[in-house]
C-alpha cells in the first residue's frame, strides 16, 4: 500500500459528557475507497466530524498529507485537502446549484485534475440542467449529488462521505455508486460511512468496521461480504 494520505491514530471524541469514540485508528491511501461500517450509534458520523475538526478530538492524532492536523479549525482542514459531505447534505437552500458550487470552489491541487463545473456536471448529469435552480427546490437525490459536487469543487485529495445512500430511492444508488468510483479513478480518496452494506460493497476496496466506538475489523471488503458471522456480530445484518 502507498504512503497513507490520511492517518487517524487513537482518536477519542464525543458529545458533551458522552464519549463515543474510544481510540480509533485507520488509514486512507490516495485513490482508495474505504467503507466505514457499523450500526447506528457505532460512531461513524462522530469519527467523520472529528476528522473534519467539527468535533474537538479529546485524544489521538490526525495526519493528512504529511501534516499534523489534530485540533485544527475545520476551514484549515478543508484547505489542507479534506472534503466533507454531511449526512443531511446541508446544501444552501437559498442559493442556486451553480452558486452552491461556487461557495465550495477552491483552487486545484497539484497532481490532480481540476473539478471544473463541466466535469462535475458530467459526473452528475441530472444537475446540469438545474444549475440555475435554487437548491432548496431540488429532490433529495439531486441535493445529495449537489452536496458531493460542492465538496469536489474544492478539489480535495480526500472526501469524507457520511451515509450518502441514506434515504435515496434504490434507483438512484447505482449512479451514485458510479460517481464514487469515478472520483476514486480520478485520484480522490474516499472514506464512506455507510449503513447500506450492498452499496458499500459495490464501491469499497477495504472496510473498517466500528462497534461501540472502536475498530472491530479492518480488512478487505470481500472478507466482510464472505463472512456472515462477522457481519452478524458487528453489523447485525443477516441475509
Partner 1 sequence: MEWGFWLAQAVSGLAGASALFLTAAGLTLVFGVCRIVNFAHGSFAMVGAYVAVTLLPPLLAWSPSLSVFLLGAVLSALAVAALGAAVELLLLRRIYRVPELFQLLATFGLVLVIQDGVLQLWGPEDIPGPRAPGLGHGVAILGERIPAYDLFLIAVGPVVLALLTLLLRATRFGLLIQAATRDREMVAALGVNQALLFTGVFALGAFLAGLGGALQVPRIPASGGMDLPIIAEAFVVTVVGGMGSVPGAFLASVLIGLLQAFGILAFPKITLVLVFLVMAAVLMLRPQGLLGRPEPPARGAIEGLAALPPPSPPLRALAVAAILAVAFLSDDYLRKVATEMLVLAIAAFSLGFLIANAGIVSFGHAAFLGAGAYAAALLSVRAGWPMEAALAAGPLFAGTLALLFGAALARMGGIYLAMLTLAFAQITHAVAFQWVELTGGDNGIVGVRPAWWASDRASYLLLAAALVLPAIWALRRVLSAPFGVLLRAARDSEPRALALGLPVVAMRVAAFALAGALAGLGGAVFAFSRGSVDPTLLAIPQSVDLLAMLLLGGVQAVAGPLLGAVALHGLKDAVMPLTDLWRLFLGLAILLLVLAFPRGLAGAWRRA
Partner 2 sequence: MTILLVENVSKRFGGVQAVAGVSLSLAPQEMLAVIGPNGAGKSTLFNLIGGQLPPDSGRVVIAGREATRLPVAARARLGMGRTFQIAETFRSFTAQQAVEAALLAARGAPFRLFARAFGPHAAEARALLAEVGMEEAAATPVSTLAYGDVKRVELALALAAAPRLLLMDEPTAGMAPAERGALMRLVRGLARGRGMGVLFTEHDMDSVFAFADRILVMVRGAVIAAGAPEAVRADPAVREAYLGKAGLAAALRARRHG
Residue 114 sits in the site that holds partner 2 (CB under 8 A):
no
Please identify, among the stretches 48-56, 110-118, 125-133, 168-176, the one whose residues bind partner 2 according to the rule CB under 8 A.
168-176
* Alpha-carbon distances, residue 228 vs 96, 122, 204 (angstroms): 45, 38, 18
| Contact positions with partner 1 (CB under 8 A) in 141-160 | 150-151, 154
| Contact positions with partner 2 (CB under 8 A) in 189-228 | 196, 198-199, 201-203, 212
Residue in 7, 59, 49 with CA at minimum distance from that of residue 193: 49
> Which residue, 12 or 72, has its beta carbon nearer to partner 2?
12
Residue 22 sits in the site that holds partner 1 (CB under 8 A):
no
User: What's the order of all strands across the beta sheet hosting 6-15?
Assistant: 18-28, 6-15, 59-64, 67-68
> Which residue, 162 or 194, has its beta carbon nearer to partner 1?
162
- Coil, helix or strand at residue 65: coil
> Strands, E, within 42-155: which ranges?
59-64, 67-68, 82-85
> Which residue, 86 or 141, has its beta carbon nearer to partner 1?
86
Q: Does residue 207 contact residue 35 with C-beta atoms inside 8 Å? A: yes
Binding residues with partner 2: total (CB under 8 A)? 29
| DSSP labels, 160-207 | EEE-TTTT--HHHHHHHHHHHHHHHHTT-EEEEEES-HHHHHHH-SEE
Quote the Cα angle for 91-96-98, to 5°: 95
Residue 107 sits in the site that holds partner 2 (CB under 8 A):
no
C-alpha cell at 188: 480522490
Distance CA 80, CA 25 (A): 20
> Which residue, 74 or 175, has its beta carbon nearer to partner 1?
74
Residue 112 sits in the site that holds partner 1 (CB under 8 A):
no
Residue 168 sits in the site that holds partner 2 (CB under 8 A):
yes
> Which residue, 106 or 133, has its beta carbon nearer to partner 1?
106
> Which residue, 102 or 228, has its beta carbon nearer to partner 2?
228
Residue 236 sits in the site that holds partner 2 (CB under 8 A):
yes
Residue in 102, 69, 89, 197 with CA at minimum distance from that of residue 136: 89
Contact with partner 2 (CB under 8 A) among 140, 187, 219, 220:
140
Q: Which residues bind partner 2 (CB under 8 A)?
A: 16-18, 39-41, 88, 136-137, 140, 166-170, 173-174, 177-178, 181, 196, 198-199, 201-203, 212, 236, 239
User: Given the rule CB under 8 A, which residues bind partner 1?
Assistant: 52, 54, 73-75, 78-79, 84, 86, 90, 92-95, 99-100, 102-104, 106, 150-151, 154
Amino acid at each position: 500500500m502507498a504512503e497513507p494520505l490520511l492517518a487517524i491514530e487513537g482518536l477519542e471524541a464525543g458529545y458533551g459528557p458522552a464519549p463515543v469514540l474510544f481510540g480509533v485508528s485507520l488509514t486512507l491511501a490516495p485513490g482508495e475507497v474505504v467503507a466505514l461500517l457499523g450500526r447506528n450509534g457505532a460512531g461513524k458520523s462522530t469519527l467523520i466530524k472529528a476528522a473534519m475538526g467539527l468535533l474537538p478530538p479529546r485524544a489521538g492524532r490526525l495526519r493528512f498529507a504529511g501534516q499534523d492536523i489534530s485540533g485544527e479549525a475545520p476551514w484549515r482542514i478543508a484547505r489542507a485537502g479534506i472534503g466533507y459531505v454531511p449526512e443531511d447534505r446541508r446544501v444552501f437552500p437559498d442559493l442556486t446549484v451553480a452558486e452552491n458550487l461556487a461557495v465550495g470552489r477552491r483552487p486545484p491541487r497539484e497532481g490532480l485534475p481540476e473539478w471544473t463545473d463541466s466535469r462535475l456536471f458530467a459526473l452528475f448529469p441530472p444537475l446540469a440542467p438545474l444549475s440555475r435552480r435554487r437548491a432548496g427546490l431540488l429532490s433529495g437525490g439531486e441535493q445529495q449529488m449537489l452536496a458531493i459536487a460542492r465538496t469536489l469543487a474544492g478539489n480535495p485529495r480526500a472526501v469524507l462521505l457520511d451515509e450518502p445512500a441514506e434515504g435515496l430511492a434504490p434507483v438512484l444508488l447505482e449512479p451514485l455508486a458510479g460517481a464514487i468510483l469515478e472520483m476514486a479513478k480520478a485520484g480522490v480518496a474516499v472514506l464512506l460511512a455507510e449503513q447500506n452494506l450492498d452499496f458499500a460493497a459495490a464501491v469499497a476496496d477495504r472496510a473498517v468496521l466500528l462497534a461501540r466506538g472502536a475498530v472491530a475489523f479492518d480488512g478487505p471488503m470481500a472478507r466482510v461480504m464472505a463472512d456472515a458471522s462477522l457481519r452478524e456480530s458487528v453489523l447485525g445484518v443477516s441475509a
